[in-house]
Amino acid sequence: MKHPAPNKILILDYGSQFTQLIARRIRELGFYSYVLPGTSSIQRIEDFGAKAVILSGGPASVYEAGSPKPAPELWTYLDSKNLPVLGICYGMQLMVEHHGGRIKAADKREYGRMGVAVEHPCALFSGIRNFQAWMSHGDETSKLPNGFHLTARSAEGAVAAIAHEKKPLFGIQFHPEVTHTEKGAEILRNFLTGASGLKADWEMRSLIDTLVEKIKTEVPADAEVICALSGGVDSTVAATLVHRALGKRLHCIFVDTGLLRFEEGNRVMALFTEKLHLPVTRINAETRFLGKLAGVSDPERKRKIIGAEFIAVFDDAAKDLERTLGTKPSFLVQGTLYPDVIESSPAPSSGSAGATAHHSHTIKSHHNVGGLPEDLQFKLIEPFRDLFKDEVRGIGRELGVPSDFLERHPFPGPGLAVRILGEVTREAADTLRHADEIYIEMLKSEGLYSKIWQAMAILLPIKTVGVQGDGRTHKQVIALRAVTSSDGMTADFYPFDLGFLGRVSNRICNEVRGVNRVTYDITSKPPATIEWE
């Protein structure tokens, strides 16, 4: 993609869990940032044409065989362009090692919040003296590199920051990108605007114009474009953007699997047509999906069946569209995000970046149910391939997508099928929908919805004895789940006030036919997953 702002910042990734946070902080400061693997070829780095470079942290040790290293020509290239460089943690250690300093295993690992004192004036610490910083490292600088001096020291007496005497090279042993570091954003801003002399030149609005222009140029004037709307944030915002670029040449297909939440199909259709004016065809495929799922209880089989049926339904709809238009749409819009790109890229050959990519890849393959296969023979339009979720939300807001839609909890591709334990029937789906609606509505009305990352009701395949009115009942159980999380990889159960849970339980047992008991899931992830199947 043509990068949208001249003052581009390149982040070379050495496997830190915080690399994406660095990218996000840089964008929050008004600069366009881009992450490449730390081992990228010099050609790839030169082609990007950064105005400043950040070397990320990482869990390896620079002195270990096989630890990830930059291309051998990197430092010559950076020198020849006099490019400002900020090395963070492992990134600083690479800088130290290359310039003749020494890194060794520290006697004591520095981990957590720690005081840092600035000892020598430095552009990075302009206006900053003492602050608390987040440390996470087991190695330390035992000999300063040639031409560098120490600029800050940790409370333990270790080297916390260095700067070159003449060149714009800076190293910090702590993590300015995490919120635990006081003045972290200020230090990054000092690097970009002070030390590097760059002016912030990136904002969401200009990005929308650039993306619209790019779509207009890349899609030939006679080409038709198709998009599968899922009712999720990414595909909705992507379709809205492409619609702005191409107007009537965009054709959206919304597959209602019958496994959506209460009134979900009608609600998202109203949003698409009345609010966003997207040209969308709704395919009511409940009978098809429930037919294929009849008699199936195994979670993995359910996922596979839904995935395959989704593709079959979409394919049929695309053929119908082709007949109506008299031509085959040649482009497909997808709401792929940058983290998806990283997660599905092949693992690098060495270093921890490989482990991260591989790990994420495994998780992804489980989550892409409801996606489309690569051999559909469309050219892809993926306007958000370089962006993060919160930025897509920002674009959505600019494009007039209502914020309550943009802030919705995640919802899995296989929908309620993985929340109905055992066989999926229309009756079970209706029962669950009703209970879920009561729960979500109460979360919203009691001001809790936005504090929670994801909440759901689950229908259990067991019956328990109860007493309602004058009689004994034998009905099903609803489990409630609510978790806080930042990315869904780990999660903590939400510590509701018991009064709230009691009120939800009362309403569900009184109003939902077939349910006489409600329980709350108090398990975090790990050991449990967020979904029950």
* Residues 106, 43: Cα–Cα separation, whole Å: 35
Point out which residues pair with 141 in neighbouring strands.
103
Task: Using alpha carbons, select from 91, 92, 142, 136 the residue that is nearest to residue 114.
Answer: 136
Please identify, using beta-carbon distances, which residue of 67 and 360 lies nearer to ligand XMP: 360
Which of 369, 429, 432, 455 is close enough to bind ligand XMP by CB under 6 A?
369
User: Binding of ligand XMP at residue 73 (CB under 6 A)?
Assistant: no
Stretch that binds ligand XMP, among 78-86, 89-97, 262-270, 367-375 (CB under 6 A): 367-375
Task: Using alpha carbons, select from 229, 209, 232 the residue that is nearest to residue 389.
Answer: 232
Alpha-carbon dihedral sign for residues 272, 244, 410, 348:
positive
User: Binding of ligand XMP at residue 367 (CB under 6 A)?
Assistant: yes
Q: Are 252 and 279 in contact (CB under 8 A)?
A: yes
Rg (CA), the chain: 26
CB of 527 to ligand XMP, least distance (A): 11
Please identify, using beta-carbon distances, which residue of 32 and 405 lies nearer to ligand XMP: 405
CB of 430 to ligand XMP, least distance (A): 21
Going by their DSSP bridges, the two strands 280-284 and 159-164 should be labelled as unpaired
User: Binding of ligand XMP at residue 529 (CB under 6 A)?
Assistant: yes
Q: Could you tell me the two tokens for 343?
A: 């997660």
Active site residue 227: no
Which of 414, 424, 437, 457 is close enough to bind ligand XMP by CB under 6 A?
414
Please identify, using beta-carbon distances, which residue of 364 and 463 lies nearer to ligand XMP: 364
CB of 349 to ligand XMP, least distance (A): 28
- 182-241 residues near ligand XMP, rule: CB under 6 A: none
User: Binding of ligand XMP at residue 264 (CB under 6 A)?
Assistant: no
User: Binding of ligand XMP at residue 530 (CB under 6 A)?
Assistant: yes
Stretch that binds ligand XMP, among 133-141, 384-392, 407-415, 421-429 (CB under 6 A): 407-415
- 433-472 residues near ligand XMP, rule: CB under 6 A: 454
Q: Could you tell me the two tokens for 311?
A: 């593709």
**Residues in Cβ contact with 277 at an 8 Å cutoff, skipping those fewer than 6 apart:** 243
* Residues 517, 479: Cα–Cα separation, whole Å: 9
CB of 302 to ligand XMP, least distance (A): 9
Q: Could you tell me the two tokens for 199?
A: 């002016």
Please identify, using beta-carbon distances, which residue of 24 and 367 lies nearer to ligand XMP: 367
User: Binding of ligand XMP at residue 403 (CB under 6 A)?
Assistant: no
CB of 414 to ligand XMP, least distance (A): 5
| Helices (H), ranges, 29-131 | 42-48, 74-81, 90-98
- Which is the catalytic residue, given 110, 177, 309, 533? 177
| Region for 514 from its dihedrals, namely left if φ exceeds 0, alpha if ψ lies in -120 to 50, beta otherwise | left
Stretch that binds ligand XMP, among 142-150, 158-166, 182-190, 405-413 (CB under 6 A): 405-413
Beta strand extents in 213-350 (DSSP E only): 225-229, 250-256, 280-284, 331-333
User: Binding of ligand XMP at residue 525 (CB under 6 A)?
Assistant: yes
CB of 484 to ligand XMP, least distance (A): 12
Active site residue 3: no
CB of 214 to ligand XMP, least distance (A): 27
* Residues 533, 298: Cα–Cα separation, whole Å: 9
Point out which residues pair with 515 in neighbouring strands.
476
* Residues 471, 220: Cα–Cα separation, whole Å: 69
* Residues 90, 423: Cα–Cα separation, whole Å: 50
Q: Indicate the length of the chain as a whole number.
A: 533
CB of 369 to ligand XMP, least distance (A): 4
Please identify, using beta-carbon distances, which residue of 160 and 483 lies nearer to ligand XMP: 483
Residue keyed to tokens 């520095």: 110
H or E segment at 13?
A: strand 8-13
Whether the ω angle into residue 527 lies within 30 degrees of 0, i.e. cis, is yes
Active site residue 286: no
Please identify, using beta-carbon distances, which residue of 488 and 514 lies nearer to ligand XMP: 488
Please identify, using beta-carbon distances, which residue of 110 and 343 lies nearer to ligand XMP: 343
User: Binding of ligand XMP at residue 413 (CB under 6 A)?
Assistant: yes
Which residues of this chain interact with ligand XMP, rule CB under 6 A?
Answer: 303, 367, 369-370, 410, 412-414, 454, 488, 525, 529-531
Q: Which residues are catalytic?
A: 89, 175, 177
